Amino acid sequence: MNTKLLKPNKQTYELAKNLINAGEIVAFPTETVYGLGADATNEIAVKKIFEAKGRPNDNPLIVHLGAKEDIKKYVLNINHLEQKIIDLFMPGPISLVLQKNDKIPYVVTAGGETVAIRLPENDIARDFINTCKKPICAPSANTSKRPSPTLAKHVFDDLNGKIPLIIDGGQTEVGIESTVVKVEGNCLYILRPGKISKEELENKLGVKVLSNITQSGIVQSPGTKYTHYKPKCDMILVKTDVIENIKKLYEENTKLGKKVIIFCKKEDKCKFKNMNVVSLGKNSEEASHNLFKMLREYENNDLILAEFIDNGNMVEGLYNRMSKSCSGNII
């Protein structure tokens, strides 16, 4: 298959619409990462997403919509708290788990009765979805378990020849996937952390937000079951005695002939003199924006030593992605 990489414009959106209507899959940018989209009501098209990515079919997909009024077309009911989340946070980098109706096939939800709904705030994503006039289910547009794509080049590197079209919208703004939430009774649970934090949800909604929901065998949110985001090289996340432990690990591994790179907070870069070091950013927001791009850029090393970044408003989401990127190799 010849994979086209095109800038967003009316002609590109029309091509994308024709492909989606023909049961094909299209990669497109959102404010979080690039998504790999198909018509969520077309089972055959949805299965192509799993095939292209090499994604397990028990890992559910998020359905992306172009307008708030479309949500009720694909879910059974929306309670008061769920409606408040929609009113205050959508469009935006949040996905809300709701009871699906029969228009959403079980291949989208990994056999479950719930579906995660999202309205991207990225203009290109919304123009694409609204041109197609379809609900678009989409995971990240990368090979399964690889770092998520924040540039069209990342999508092309992973999926060239497997999909017909990539809409190139430049680098994504947020850099990590959406916060996934679910209402249970009078409580709100975070199933997957992202840009929208527990504190922001509590402050705006006036409810207690928890993170320890018990899930049954069927997963309700992507990003919670399998190893994700791993670079080709080994990675260690350092949380304790950060500077000294990173220096020690760097020296030990370079003596063994390994090529080592340090990812650190901007203010700490000067502490690693004469070492191979790059800055992730000054806080968790900048680090989240840069993380997946840098994992791909520097995975030709033998080892990444990553500093835990504990400042800013996206610490939980960033830590979630970094801990998965290093396969739990944390000190």
Q: Are residues 116 and 187 in the same domain?
A: yes
Confidence of residue 228 (pLDDT cuts 50, 70, 90): confident
Mean pLDDT of 226-249: 93
Strand partners of residue 182: 97, 189
Q: Which domain holds residue 12?
A: 4-210
Sheet holding 234-238, edge to edge: 234-238, 303-307, 260-265, 277-281
Q: Are residues 288 and 256 in the same domain?
A: yes
For the stretch 127-138, pLDDT in tens is 999 999 999 999
CA dihedral of residues 245, 249, 255, 261 (deg, nearest 10): -110
Q: Are residues 142 and 283 in the same domain?
A: no
Q: Are residues 247 and 99 in the same domain?
A: no
Share of the chain above pLDDT 90, in %: 92
- 220 pLDDT higher than 90: no
CB 184 within 8 A of CB 22: no
- 216 pLDDT higher than 60: no
Task: Give the pLDDT of residue 1.
Answer: 85
Q: Are residues 47 and 79 in the same domain?
A: yes
Q: Are residues 137 and 185 in the same domain?
A: yes
For residue 126, tell me if it sits in a domain: yes
Higher-pLDDT residue of 219 and 310 is 310
**DSSP letter at 42?**
-
What whole-number distance in Å separates Cα of residue 205 and Cα of residue 305? 38
DSSP secondary structure, 224-283, as one string: SSS--S--SSEEEEE-SSHHHHHHHHHHHHHHTT--EEEEEEGGGGGGSTTS-EEEEESS
Q: Are residues 147 and 250 in the same domain?
A: no
Task: Give the pLDDT of residue 211.
Answer: 81
Mean pLDDT of 95-121: 97
For residue 292, tell me if it sits in a domain: yes
For residue 239, tell me if it sits in a domain: yes
Q: Are residues 245 and 307 in the same domain?
A: yes
Q: Are residues 198 and 287 in the same domain?
A: no
- 215 pLDDT higher than 60: no
Is the four-CA dihedral 84, 88, 91, 93 of positive or negative sign? negative
Is the four-CA dihedral 172, 13, 15, 104 of positive or negative sign? positive
Among candidates 56, 11, 54, which has minimal Cα distance to 165?
Answer: 11
Q: Are residues 241 and 122 in the same domain?
A: no
For the stretch 181-204, pLDDT in tens is 999 988 899 999 999 999 999 999
Final residue before a domain boundary, out of 149, 177, 210: 210
> Which residues, including other chains, have CB under 8 Å from residue 161's CB and lie 6 or more apart?
1, 2, 3
Share of the chain above pLDDT 70, in %: 95
For residue 162, tell me if it sits in a domain: yes
Which two structure tokens, joined as six digits, stand for 25?
């899959």
- 221 pLDDT higher than 90: no
The CATH number covering residue 298 comes to 3.40.50.11030
Q: Are residues 169 and 258 in the same domain?
A: no
Distance in Å from the first CA to the final CA of the chain:
44
Final residue before a domain boundary, out of 195, 210, 225: 210
The CATH number covering residue 25 comes to 3.90.870.10
For residue 223, tell me if it sits in a domain: no
Q: Are residues 139 and 183 in the same domain?
A: yes
Measured CA to CA in angstroms, residue 117 lies from 61, 257, 264 at distances of 9, 48, 34
As for how many domains the chain has, the answer is: 2
Among candidates 36, 46, 39, 45, which has minimal Cα distance to 65?
Answer: 39
